[in-house]
Structure 1
Amino acid sequence: MHRAHLARSAGLAALTAALMAAPLAVPATAVTGTPEAEGSLAFTARLDIGNGQRACSGALVDREWILTAASCFADDPAVSLAVPAGSPKLRTTATIGRTDLTTTTGVVRNVVEVVAHPSRDAALVRLNRPVTTVTPVALGTTAAAAGEELKVAGYGRTKTEWAPLKLHSGTFTVDAVNASDVNLTGKDGASVCMGDTGGPALRVAGGQAQLVAVHSRSAQAGCFGVDAAVTSTAAVDTRVDDLRPWIDAKLAAPQFTDFNCDGAEDIAIGDPKATVGGDANAGVVRVVYGGGKGAVELNQDQAYVPGGAEASDWYGEALATFDHNEDGCTDLVVGVPAEDITVGTTVHADAGSVHVLYGAKGGIGTGQAAVDHVQGLGTIAAIKGSASEAGDRFGHAVAAGHTAEGEPYLLIGAPGEDLGTATDAGSAIYLRGSVNTAVNQDKPGYAGDPEASDRFGSAVAGSANHLVIGSPGEAIGTEKNAGGVQILKHALNADKVPAPVLGFDQDADVVSGGAEPGDQFGASVAAVAYRPSGAATATDSIIAVGTPGEDLTVGTADKADAGAVHSLRVTASGTVTQVANIQQEVTDVSGTAEAGDRFGTKVVLANTAPRAVGSPSTLALAVGIPGEALGSVAGAGAIQTFHPLGAAGAYDHWVQPGDASGLGGAPTADHAVGTYLGGSATQLYVGVTNAAPYGVAYALPWGNVTGGRTGAASAATTYKPGTGGLPAAGGQFGRSFG
């Protein structure tokens, strides 16, 4: 039977020039059918692509993801449905839960990632923040059947309106179904029009809608602007009932650093002792783009980077990443705690500064202007109200990420901050949207009091649910440098500061052991979101606290600075419980506690599947042991990994240079492996800054360093100055990671 020509039904480049010449002045709405009642089919999304250049529809299938058509994002869908991975080429916003676009119901989100199906006109698009007020539509589990009637919806044209303001729907009859498509015909004049592409075709049973297909192309009879001679209401939709494995795989995949938004994993590596323009120890950050797109250097002599390179700035001593402007490109936080700040004629040595350098499609430095956070300056009250002073070391530690609601946050440690007469009491600045506040032991409800040399803010960490701040110089009674830790919520309390959950030291009931001089409890901290069994999302946090100065008694021998690590769980309600006290003298743990091991100098936590219920196959804790002697090689250093919620010895795995993990080289005296670690949900980063001549860094897949517990082993990556596009220069390459 002759079938009418079916056109792609979105405002795309493949459409006629006449149609493209009339951009949408207001949001476009749907199918030439019946307007939906307010709140009906609330999961249906309206996509504005390129500020009115294109219009599509979609369906919310997860709190962070919309399912739509790949043709909405293809350059020319008549030629190819190929869509580059990463952020959309044109700025895209999604309106969800707003049946009438003239109202303010529902939410508007930025689309920050597009993932096209490899063989169908379907695509998943990720939103910058989760949608919690609209229930996602369920995916149908069986294909549509010939003769079945489906309800279709969208925000495209109607018979009389180019850009209607209401969601419309209509009834279509299924004509035929094949492996990838569903052929439909509209009833009572209903037709799929431009702007409806990607919209849902629904099976409604018992009042519940199930998504079985999304609009791909149609004949468009009766649509505004279509020749009246066209009478066919035929449409072809893309089947999605069998796409659950593809959808689940993408939803479960962890997000990674992507500075240029191209869908390939990138890495930033700090070298704070690198020379810049003759200035020794000025410091650089080297960014290596994934997919073979080369490496670039960031330093303070570049026009994009604030300040100017000076000797001993140590630029890049601390790094962190997040998507601050929520455009889909990862942004880089650079701590410069040794930066000298001049106020009037007075130079405040090591006052410190923090930069936010924005990712963009052309890479860091090609998009939004960088932000320079300096105490006493700018428009952020908490930062401007805290003067730059010598030795503040603002930016000594930085942590960044996104809350459970998807809001970006930044936590900046300034362990040298004086509070009143207490020198080096330490403080931190917390930034989140319009929230900006100083966080320190002078705040109501926080543990302890500001005291000289507490160095609160020496270590900071955060998860989607909680913040963690270490004060390793904290004196507990007369026990100097025993250390302490403060756990906070992101939400502010009545005192307008992050609400305290628990402040504690080793004399507290929540952890084993006791506070002793020089323990440095909280010298390193890590945090990661955790989904407990029975919870729909990752409501809790796992926290690790390093105590590298812990003395251990083995038999009758005192092993000074052998070190230990505590792992704890923080529930959504604020209950904190210790999970494990990890030491090398614990049963079945590899290695032997020795004086000077400093086990716990650095701790890294990872959740390789943040959506899944936490388990030994998804959670990993890496512990640096820089003082470890390997055979007769003193100070070679090593790393051990554990399951942070399990018995220490049950999942212990040893990592050292030259083994199967991909950590290169051979055990070398004073290389101190484990001093500088970083990590993401995909990889553990290891910096060996003492490796001649400039240092070396490694990216080790978590499966490699857990003995396959968190996934199969795969190729590790070595980053070494003088290779892979990195210049043969530096001083301590691999000291920090982002």
Structure 2
Amino acid sequence: MRRTAPLRRSALAAALIAGPLALCATPAAAVTGPAATGTTFAYTAQLDIGGNTHGCSGVLVAADWLLTAASCFADNPAASLAVPVGKPALKTTATIGRADLTTTEGAVREVVELVPRTDRDVVLARLNRPVTNVAPVALATTAPTAGEQLSFAGYGRTKDEWAPLNLHTGTLSVDSAATTTATVTGKDGAAACAGDAGGPVVRVVGGTHQLAALSSRSYQGGCFGIDTAETRTGGITARVDDLGSWVTAKTDAARVTDFNCDGVEDIAIADPKGTVGGNAGAGLVRIVYGGGKGTAEISQALAWVSGSAEANDAFGEAIDTVDYDENGCTDLVVGTPGEDLGTATDGGMVDILHGAPGGLGTGTVKVTHFQQGEGAGSIAASSSESGDRMGHALAAGETAAGEPYVVIGVPGESLGTMTKAGMAFYLRGKINASVHQDKTDVPGTAETNDGFGTSVAADANHIAIGAPNEDISGDAASGNLAVFSHTLHADGHPKPLFGLDQDLDTVSGGSEAGDEFGKSLSLTEYRPAGAAAATDSILAIGSPGEDLPVGDSPNPDAGRVILFRVTAAGAGSQLAELKQGTAEDDVSGSAEPGDRMGETVTAINTAPRSVSTTATMKLAVGVPGEAVGSLAKAGAVHTFSLLGTPGANDRWLEAGDGDGIPGTPGAGQAVGSSIHFTGTSLYVGMPNGPSTYGALHALPLSNVTAGGTVAAVTTYQPGTGGLPAAGSRFGYAAR
């Protein structure tokens, strides 16, 4: 049986209603009204905080977000409603859409992140996975008014039960409304009880529920365990009708990297050529924790990291992030493609380094290790061979259902006698599958030196795997790629949807030797107008070896990028071709020999739950071979919208041009060789100088948007900000 702890904030209560009000925060089960039936209040959640320490109620307002009372998570609600941003201090389980707790209806999730308001008894609570079988409730847009009748629900006590097994409902009459609260009185003896804090208070309009407030405090007249002399059924609710923009901003934002789950963005910066313990090229990753919480160096010299630091291991050559264990702390996926495994030189391996409140590697589970011939599934069934380079490319994220996944490129894998034909591994839950061009229905044919898995990309809907060295119609290294669904084929690997190469009628241009079509890939979710969700994707495909004739100049290796839409049904169609063209057209820059536009690409949807627009769908393209004046390979970054006319939505970025990349251009800097979008910034790595050890610049999104205002840039550089003055290619990759 759960303990009851009536909590009082008498100073505030006295200012609102004569006499103290007990906070509605204890067990799990119900207002003193009748038990709910059907699915009318299915969006209501029961919260078990701290394993029966106490309970509250909540409301599903987005697929993976609840609104509930901050008092449920405050250390001492009687003194303060302050709640730290980030992972709850106590494990919190939410049961949503289960009016009868003895059934299996709805869904059970863990609360992994809190985002509190500072002006009222309200907190947003993120779930570890979306709830797909319960519809969220929409927020009201007008304040409660005196005399208005509102419905409310909760899992707190009833008149005669301490911890009922049913959701209960009742009716409230609004007495008055203030800026952030409304005082109410229960009708027909209904009252909010301990355990109902955070439960919905709704306005019903034409049968549709609109969330107007949350239960906050009550006299609890008639509630089980309350003095029978207390007959008042009034209370205070926390208004939410004015919080629509705040809720949308939080629930619709792209997820940030947060290794220590404190709600503040962190960053991992790779230096795969870094020296560790005297071993040149062993590789390392530096972590900068947001909010001034320090830095860390992660390498194979640490006891909890797999392997040992050896020359040319290239730890961190590829990195990505995902909350693989779904505990609310971001995990870092690290490829070490140069790792020697027994006699297999450059066999390669991958590790998932787990986040925790103390930072990476401080939790009970510190690392999950993958290498061929060990573990389970297809990875265990395979074997490490020289030149496999497992971990050369990585992609990680969550499916539309919220399931974490990792895609691992192994471009040097031999298939029978076909050396370096390449393959990839797909990991999701208990799924551990290999995919290559000899698998059933996978486009293309496995051949020597194809390099399938050289590039990989994935989003919530789809997966893309590139083979830039593929021979197309006799043109060596013309390149191709295959697109897959997260749904599995009958044979157990991701279901192939279609392949792409430049000899197809659906792709502009034609296959030519050395095009390297698919050398770089990036996928992001796309929600077209009229669609209920972002079930489509936009795929950016880099072809840096493409020759682009302009006038009499053949411009070998000028490079280009193709944008493809992938529908929920699995069909693909080209959206645009991006190339620099001539100095007279409306796209910035002009095609020149060796530009290698498309060597890198990174795409992001900054508002994945909203209808996609030119402002929210962003692409950055690396042009590392760009000459700036007489400075060969100084490099540049070219940004676009994934939608709309390319020239109307592009921006050109060079070192020192005023948009945020500091310094001056220099020969061989290869700006654009390292780029990555987050929901807040474009990371531009400068591993080739001008600074001795390399650097990384975080450019605000306004800096990289056509017509956007230039804002201050954050620079990460060894020797500053707590980062040791050491390194070789700092900024090679960042997440």
TM-score between both structures, scaled by the size of structure 1: 0.95
User: Contact (CA 8 Å) 1:401, 1:463: kept in 2 or not?
Assistant: yes
> Which range moved further: 557-566 or 481-490?
557-566
Distance 1:179 1:676 in 2: 48
Which residue, out of 706, 709, 715, partners 2:712?
Answer: 715
Aligned pair 1:537/2:533, yes or no?
Answer: yes
Which of 351, 371, 379 is equivalent to 2:347? Answer: 351
8 A Cα contact 1:317 1:736, kept in partner: yes
Tell me if structure 1 keeps the 8 A contact 2:332–2:352: yes
In structure 1, distance between residues paired with 2:64 and 2:119: 23
Distance of aligned partners of 1:92 and 1:383 in 2 relative to their CA distance in 1, 3 Å threshold: same
Contact 2:377–2:431 (8 Å) recurs in 1: no
**How far 1:38 sits from its partner (Å)?**
4.1
Q: CA deviation at 1:123?
A: 1.4
Match of 1:608 in 2: 606
Contact 1:660 1:704 in 2 (8 A): no
Question: Structure 1: where are the runs of 5+ without partners?
Answer: 12-23
| Partner of residue 418 from structure 1, selected from 389, 414, 417 | 414
From 629, 648, 660, the equivalent of 2:658 is 660
Alignment partners' CA distance in 2, 1:687 and 1:578 = 30
Correspondence list, 1:578-589, <5 A: 578-585=574-581, 587-589=585-587
Q: Hey, what's the Cα distance between the residues in 2 that align with 1:148 and 1:645?
A: 46
Match for 1:301: what amino acid? A
Q: Which amino acid aligns with 1:353?
A: M
What is the match of residue 374 of structure 1? 371
Equivalent residue for 1:598, pick from 586, 596, 599: 596
- CA deviation digits over 1:133-164, x for unaligned, max 9? 11222322322222232222100112222211
The question of 1:504 aligning with 2:500 is answered: yes
Deviation at 1:506? Answer: 0.6
Q: In the alignment, which residue of structure 1 is the partner of 2:190?
A: 190
Number of the residue aligned with 2:142:
142
Q: Deviations over 1:675-700 (max 9, x none)?
A: 12222122111111111311111111
* Alpha-carbon shift at residue 490 of structure 1 (Å): 0.7
Q: Distance in 1 between matches of 2:529 and 2:209?
A: 28
CA distance in 1, matches of 2:284, 2:713: 24
Cross-structure match for 2:702: 703
Q: 1:447-596 counterparts in 2 under 5 A? A: 447-585=443-581, 587-596=585-594
Contact 1:318 1:737 in 2 (8 A): no
**C-alpha displacement at 1:632, in angstroms?**
1.0
Q: Which residue of 2 aligns with 1:272?
A: 272
1:6–1:234 CA contact under 8 A, matched in 2: no
C-alpha separation between the residues in 1 aligned to 2:312 and 2:242? 59
> Which position in structure 2 is the counterpart of 1:14?
none
Residue 60 of structure 1: aligned partner: 60
- Alpha-carbon distance in structure 1 between the residues aligned to 2:175 and 2:651: 58
* Distance of 1:149 and 1:648 partners within structure 2: 53
8 Å contact kept, 1:38–1:100: no
Instruction: Please state if 1:4 is matched with 2:1.
Output: no
- Rounded to whole Å, the distance in 2 between the matches of 1:81 and 1:718 is 36
SS in 2 for 1:36: coil
Q: Residue in 1 aligned with 2:181?
A: 181
Question: 1:427-446 maps to which residues of 2 (within 5 A)?
Answer: 427-446=423-442
Q: CA deviation at 1:280?
A: 1.5
| Distance of 1:581 and 1:148 partners within structure 2 | 57
> Aligned letter for 1:307?
G
Query: Where does residue 45 of structure 1 map in the other structure?
Result: 45
Separation in structure 2 between the aligned mates of residue 543 and residue 634 of structure 1, nearest angstrom: 30
Query: Aligned in 2, Cα 1:125/1:507: closer, same or farther, shift over 3 Å?
Result: same
Rounded to whole Å, the distance in 2 between the matches of 1:688 and 1:203 is 55
- Distance of 1:660 and 1:498 partners within structure 2: 44
2:137 partner amino acid:
V
Shift in CA distance, 516/2, structure 1 to aligned 2, threshold 3 Å: closer
Which amino acid in structure 1 is aligned with residue 677 of structure 2? G
Identity of aligned residues (%): 56
Aligned to 1:553, the other structure's residue is in SS state: coil
Give 1:429's aligned amino acid. Answer: F
What displacement does 1:353 show? 0.5
- Distance, in Å, in 1 between the alignment partners of 2:208 and 2:616 is 34
2:85 alignment partner, SS class: coil
Alignment correspondent of 1:633: 631
Aligned-residue offset at 1:708: 4.1
Partners of 1:597 and 1:146 in 2: CA distance:
68
SS of 1:574's partner is: coil
Q: CA deviation at 1:661?
A: 2.0
Residue identity in the other structure for 1:216: S
Letter of the aligned partner of 1:554 in structure 2? V
- Structure 1 range deviating more: 540-549 or 234-243: 234-243
Structure 2 vs 1, CA of residues 169 and 489 (structure 1 numbering), >3 Å: closer, same or farther? same
1:16 corresponds in structure 2 to none
Deviation of 1:111 (Å): 1.3
What are the residue-to-residue correspondences of 1:76-475 with 2, within 5 Å? 76-342=76-342, 347-367=343-363, 368-378=365-375, 380-475=376-471
Give the aligned partner of residue 7 of structure 2.
Answer: none
Amino acid at match of 1:294: G
Q: CA deviation at 1:227?
A: 2.4
Amino acid aligned to 1:375? Q
Q: Over aligned residue pairs, what C-alpha RMSD do you find?
A: 1.5
Structure 2: distance between partners of 1:469 and 1:661: 33
Distance 2:402 2:723 in 1: 34
Q: In 2, are the aligned partners of 1:527 and 1:543 still within 8 Å (CA)? A: yes
User: Equivalents in 1 of 2:141, 2:546: separation in Å?
Assistant: 56
Take 1:176 and 1:546, find their aligned partners in 2: how far apart are those partners?
60
Q: Secondary structure at the match of 1:526?
A: strand
TM superposition outliers: structure 1 runs of 4+ over 3 Å: none
Distance 1:250 1:370 in 2: 30
**1:2: Cα distance to partner?**
6.7
Once the two structures are superposed, what CA deviation does each residue of 1:322-364 show, in whole Å capped at 9, x if it has no partner? 111111111100000101112xxxx211000000011111111
Whether the aligned pair in 2 keeps the contact of 1:4 and 1:232 (CA below 8 Å) is no
Q: Show the 5 A alignment for 1:11-26.
A: 11=26
Instruction: Name the CA distance, whole Å, in 2 between partners of 1:112 and 1:659.
Output: 42
Q: How many aligned positions are there?
A: 716
1:732 aligns with 2:733: no
Which range is displaced more, 679-688 or 583-592? 583-592
* 1:14-66 deviation line (CA, Å, top 9, x unaligned): xxxxxxxxxx6xxx211122111243411111111121222110111222221
Match in the other structure for 1:18: none
1:682 paired residue number = 680
> Partner letter of residue 561 of structure 1?
D
Q: TM-score, normalised by structure 2?
A: 0.95
Contact 1:567/1:645 (8 A) holds in 2:
no
Distance 1:393 1:2, change over 3 A: closer
Amino acid at match of 1:669: A
Decide whether the 8 Å contact of 1:458 with 1:523 is kept in 2: yes
- Residue 393 of structure 1 aligns with an amino acid whose one-letter code is R
Provide the C-alpha distance between the structure 2 equivalents of 1:708 and 1:92, rounded to a whole number of angstroms: 44
**Per the alignment, in what secondary structure is the counterpart of residue 437 of structure 2?**
coil
Offset, 1:659? 2.0
For 2:178 and 2:681, the matched residues in 1 are separated by: 41
Distance 1:170 1:593 in 2: 69
CA distance in 2, matches of 1:315, 1:205: 58
Deviates more, 1:40-49 or 1:227-236: 227-236
- Matched letter for residue 402 of structure 2: G
| CA displacement, residues 458-509 of structure 1 (integer Å, 9 cap, x when unaligned) | 0000111110111011001211111001111111122222111111211011
Structure 2 spans left out of the alignment, 5+ residues: 1-15
